[in-house]
Amino acid sequence: MHNAIVIGAGLAGSEAAWQLAQRGIHVDLYEMKPVKMTPAHHSSAFAELCCSNSLRGAEICTAPGLLKEELRRAGSLIISCADATRVEAGGALAVDREAFANLVTEKVKNHPNITVHEGEVTEIPAEGHVIVATGPLTSDALFESIHNKLGAHEYLHFYDAAAPIVSFESVDMDSAYFASRYDKGTADYINCPMNREQYDAFWEALCEAEQAPVHGFEDKKVFEGCMPVEVMGRRGHDTLLYGPLKPVGLRDPHTGETPYAVVQLRRDNAAGSLYNLVGFQTHLKFPEQKRVFSMIPALKNAEFVRYGVMHRNTFMDSPRLLDNHYRLKAEPRIRFAGQMTGVEGYIESAASGFETGLNLARELLGLEPIEFSDLTAIGALGLYISNEANAKFQPMNINFGIIQPLGYRVKGKREKNTQIAQRALEHLDTLLDAVQEGKETLS
């Protein structure tokens, strides 16, 4: 029997172990809980949901819904357990947190091809095929082992604040305009003006908004260059006007005048479908971000594809280190999965575990890897984290901005996203049918 090692039994590790085991590979699964816990974990169960019990949108016209449907059709353990423990949550797939984790644990522990080992792994095994799926709170000893293997400048571990990202199509361009400061270069920035009354209301709300707790934040310091916007705002009414909201050189073509304040949006991907809020690093609670930042007139109906966060962040500079199958370029016997690769979110972590487990099994069985393209959500994630054009790499949730566009215009956002999803599922079904015709099973 072929053998593989999986380190970590979170969403990614449990999924990876399951996909390997389902294909006849013997898996040694190592999980440090309950011998050693992290500040974010409270249960000894596998696939513990540390934050929300929601796996986000369920409809395929949403990117999370599409990713879940792809995984469902491909035989995902995490999705099957989520479906089995679902609770009512409107248009989202939410689960009974305890029942979900217990079901994943039960299935993994009872699989005849999986042997579970409790206790901390302190270094990457020197031999064999390994999937490391230890998450953003990787233990210090294992972190040092990974850090030493990858190099001091190629593995990131820091306390950071990140800015939100919005979809371009949700920006009210009647209240915004493209321009560069002093009209230098090309007009690459979207500028969102505010008058004095609008700015005053925004500033007061920002200073009073509720911040999210930051697990494990020891020194309570951030670099000046990534100071949370709410911290900057509390330094004084005019501080932001001399910082990220500085209006100088950004004359509004609608009025011919310089606004009182301007929030700038910078393109976040080559397609121009995503924009980040420049200088808006934050660790406000997500609902507060939605409430306060939507007070900016051009963002009144903004779709936030990623909210700002501040936390201990342990993730790899994946575009320089990993290929689209999450293999370490310098040592392909080692794969990584989960949030440490730069996929952000529960289902995204499970998707990376699915891909790593599936294609490691195929390699061990002497088969070629399945190439998931960016026509699918599964493939788009792998291509995003391995894209060397991402010079300043940051974690990302699944969103339609990283999936290949249709190539033609469709009226209405919902209809456009539905057509992208239908195309993705048709492509995936064709791919799965071809594999099954080769007498290979995917579940």
Binding site, annotated residues for FAD: 8-13
d(CA 190, CA 165): 13
Q: Do residues 410 and 398 touch, judged by C-beta distance below 8 A?
A: no
E strands of 88-169, at which residues?
Answer: 92-95, 114-118, 130-132, 155-161, 165-167
Count CA within 13 A, CB hemisphere, residue 159: 15
Q: What's the distance, CA 201 to chain centroid? A: 32
Work out the burial of residue 137: count CB atoms within 10 Å of its CB; fewer than 13 is exposed, 13-18 middle, 19 or more buried: buried
DSSP 36-68: S--TT---SSTT---S-SEEEE-STTSHHHHHH
In angstroms, rounded to a whole number, what is the distance separating the alpha carbons of residues 311 and 398?
Answer: 20
The separation between CA 254 and the C-alpha centre of its own chain, rounded to angstroms, equals 37
CA dihedral sign of residues 296, 299, 301, 303: negative
By the 8 A CB rule, do 420 and 287 touch? Answer: no
| CA Rg value for the chain | 23
- Give 94's contacts (C-beta < 8 A, 6+ positions apart): 52, 53, 54, 55, 86, 87, 88
Encoding tokens for residue 271? Answer: 């397609």
Count helices and strands in the chain by DSSP H and E runs? 12, 16
Question: Tokens standing for 109?
Answer: 């522990």
Sign (positive or negative) of CA dihedral 381, 382, 388, 392 = positive
Binding positions are 8-13
